[in-house]
Amino acid sequence: MDSTPNWLPPQPATDPPPPPRARPQPWWRRALAPLLVAGALLVNYAAKLKGLLLLLPKLKVLSTAGSMLVSVAAYALIWGWSFAAGFVALLFVHEMGHYIQMRREGVKPSWMLFVPFLGAAVGARSLGGSALAEARIGLAGPVLGSLGAAAVLAVALVTDEPFWHALAFTGFLLNLFNLLPMLPLDGGRAMAAMSPWMWWIGFGLVVVLVFLVPNPILILIAILGGFELYRRWRARRSGEEGNPAYYRVKPAHRLAVGGVYVGLVALLALGMDASFVDRTSHFG
């Protein structure tokens, strides 16, 4: 029921009051708004970049582990999973020798990278700044690698299992092959402090092996070694700044490098002989 008295005249409809007008922002706020947004985005991206930089060491570890797994899978196609894992483990021990010696020489190495059928490598911007340091780094790999193969040989002698004999033999062979006096193999690194002219003999030996035992890996090593030999020999002969000092090694140090090199070759040959198993006689 309408409570308005019927004797009053009808009231006209009134419109709602207009909303208050928004005050315009000052000019300096309008000018700074895009800059504030851009600053917020930069802070966001900087935080993400910082997180990525913190993850780089982990990414290096992942790349090393990933390349190891790829190598194991590749070698497993030929030798089976067990032998492939053992072989990659021996490669890892060998490269750890280089890695540890680089740290001792004051060189900051990167993480290892494993390449199927080509071995592995530890990257670094230098090899110590002298031929003697380069030789020590080069020989450290076969030294630790030989100890790793010797440990496998000890297991083989205890168990008398052909698997361990074969793995030890392969480990000794791997380290002995790396002592060929050819760049960029470990033996070539040692020759930098002993007699760089031995690089030519090492290159000739690899070329002979290519013809005697044709193999794509040997061909690739010969090609890469030839380019590296040409580059190093040309730089040494041209008398570039720092080169004479780089190859200046005291006779006592040269003799020590030669003794380690010859001793390694002899011990590795003995290790191969001790781990060799004649399949025909063993399996009857």
43 belongs to a structural domain: yes
Output DSSP code: residue 105.
Answer: T
Within a domain: 108: yes
**Structural domain of residue 154, as residue ranges?**
35-283
Q: Answer yes or no: is 53 within a domain.
A: yes
Q: What pLDDT score does 109 carry?
A: 83
Question: What does the pLDDT read at residue 93?
Answer: 96
pLDDT at residue number 44? 44
SS3 content of the chain, % helix, strand, coil (to 5): 70, 5, 25
Tokens of 68: 């190891």
What six digits make up the tokens of 218? 């040997």
Residue 79 lies in a domain: yes
* CA-wise closest residue to 191 among 257, 239, 251: 257
Please count the structural domains in the chain: 1
Helices (H) and strands (E) in the chain, counts: 10, 2
130: left (phi over 0), alpha (psi -120 to 50) or beta: beta
Closest CA to 270 of 201, 138, 159, 175: 175
Q: Residue 105 — φ and ψ, nearest 5°? A: -85, 0
Please report whether residue 24 resides in a domain: no
Tokens encoding 80: 């089976």
Q: Which pair of tokens denotes residue 133?
A: 């340091």
pTM: 0.74
Domain assignment present for 247: yes
Domain presence at residue 120: yes
Cα 42 to Cα 85: distance, rounded to the nearest angstrom: 46
pLDDT, tens digit only, all 284 positions of the chain: 555 555 545 555 555 666 655 555 554 455 445 444 444 444 444 444 344 434 444 445 556 788 889 989 999 999 999 999 999 999 999 999 999 999 999 888 877 888 888 888 888 877 888 999 999 999 999 999 999 999 999 999 999 999 999 999 999 999 999 999 998 899 999 999 998 889 999 999 999 988 998 888 888 889 999 999 998 888 877 765 457 788 889 999 999 999 999 999 999 999 999 998 876 544 43
According to the model, what pLDDT value does residue 16 have?
A: 60
H-helix or E-strand containing 119? strand 119-122
Q: Measured between alpha carbons, how far is 74 from 37 in angstroms, rounded to an integer? A: 51
Q: 174 lies in a domain?
A: yes
Q: Which residue has the tokens 């309408």?
A: 2
In this prediction, residue 66 carries a pLDDT of 82
